[in-house]
C-alpha cells in the first residue's frame, strides 16, 4: 500500500466517521412535529397528535404478533411486545428527549414523527 492510497483511505474513513458523529447528534434534537405515524407492515395504521392525545394504551397486531403502545404525558412508547429482542420497549419514550423512531423489526412496526419520512427523502 503506497503512501497516497493510505492517506486517501484514512481520510475517507475520517470523513465517514465525522459525518456520522454530526448526524448522530441530530437524532437527539427535539422533534418539530407533534404528529406521529404508526406504521405496521408498511401501512400507516394510525396517526396521532401527541399534543392533544389523551393518555391511553392500545395493541398493534401484525400477523398475530403484538406490540402494546402507550401514550402518556404527550409521549409515546412501546410498553410490551412479544418480539424476541424487545429493543422497541428498551428504546423508551419518543417525544420527550428523542425524535428518533421507535422500531420493532421482528414485528414490522415503526413509530415515527410525521416529518421524519420527509427528512429522510431529502437526505
Give contact residues for Zn ion (rule: CB under 5 A): 81, 83, 88, 104
Q: Which does 71 bind (CB under 5 to 8 A by kind): Zn ion, another protein, none?
A: none
How are beta strands 65-72 and 102-104 bridged, if at all? unpaired
Q: Are strands 109-113 and 102-104 parallel, antiparallel or unpaired?
A: antiparallel
48: left (phi over 0), alpha (psi -120 to 50) or beta: beta
In the list Zn ion, another protein, none, the entry touching 81 (Cβ below 5 to 8 angstroms by class) is Zn ion
36, β-bridge pairs: 48, 113
Q: Which stretch binds another protein (CB under 8 A): 16-24, 53-61, 68-76?
A: 16-24
Counting contacts by CB under 8 A, is residue 121 touching another protein? yes
Mark 102-121 as b/e (b = at least 16 C-beta within 10 Å). Answer: bbbebbbbbbbbbebeeeee
With binding defined as CB under 8 A, does residue 52 bind another protein?
Answer: no
By CB under 8 A, residue 110 contacts another protein: yes
Tell me the C-alpha distance between 107 and 95, whole Å.
22
Site string for another protein, 19-48 (x = CB under 8 A): xxxxxx-xx-----------x-xxx-----
| Segments in 28-107 forming alpha helices (H) | 87-90
Query: Given the rule CB under 8 A, which residues bind another protein?
Result: 1, 5-6, 9-10, 13, 16-17, 19-24, 26-27, 39, 41-43, 84-85, 87, 90-91, 99-101, 103, 105-106, 108-110, 112-113, 116-117, 120-121
Amino acid at each position: 500500500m503506497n503512501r497516497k492510497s493510505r492517506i486517501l483511505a484514512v481520510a475517507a474513513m475520517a470523513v465517514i466517521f465525522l459525518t456520522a458523529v454530526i448526524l448522530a447528534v441530530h437524532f437527539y434534537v427535539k422533534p418539530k412535529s407533534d404528529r406521529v405515524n404508526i406504521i405496521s407492515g408498511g401501512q400507516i395504521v394510525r396517526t396521532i397528535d401527541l399534543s392533544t392525545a389523551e393518555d391511553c394504551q392500545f395493541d398493534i397486531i401484525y400477523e398475530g404478533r403484538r406490540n402494546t403502545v402507550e401514550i402518556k404525558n404527550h409521549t409515546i412508547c412501546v410498553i410490551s411486545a412479544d418480539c424476541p429482542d424487545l429493543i422497541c420497549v428498551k428504546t423508551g419514550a419518543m417525544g420527550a428527549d428523542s425524535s428518533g423512531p421507535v422500531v420493532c423489526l421482528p414485528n414490522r412496526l415503526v413509530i415515527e414523527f410525521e416529518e421524519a419520512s420527509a427528512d429522510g427523502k431529502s437526505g
